[in-house]
Amino acid sequence: MHVGIKLPRMLHALRERPLPRSCGRHWPTRAESPDPDGLVPAEPAAPTVSRRGLLAGVGLGSLAVLALSAGHVLNGPLRRTA
């Protein structure tokens, strides 16, 4: 049901800004056009975290969860972390 409701807006967005032919090439960005719902900010703020920074944060979080849950599986010195 959600897909059926959002499909017209999704198709409109894809027609307005087609995908690049080659994902490896630089694809210049441009501002979003105003939408009827007012969801696009008039003056967006500068980006704060890069994609690499986000990926590093997610990776470190995953490693922390792995290290803390290792005590459930492994007996020995890591048992105290469980």
Widest Cα–Cα separation across the chain:
60
Residue with tokens 């719902």: 37
CA distance 80 to 70: 10
Confidence of residue 39 (pLDDT cuts 50, 70, 90): confident
pTM value? 0.41
Asked whether the predicted pLDDT for residue 2 surpasses 70, the reply is yes
Residue with tokens 């960005």: 29
Listed in sequence order, the residues at least 6 apart from 80 whose beta carbon sits closer than 8 Å to its beta carbon are 71
Domain ranges of the chain: 51-82
Looking at residue 21, what is its pLDDT? 54
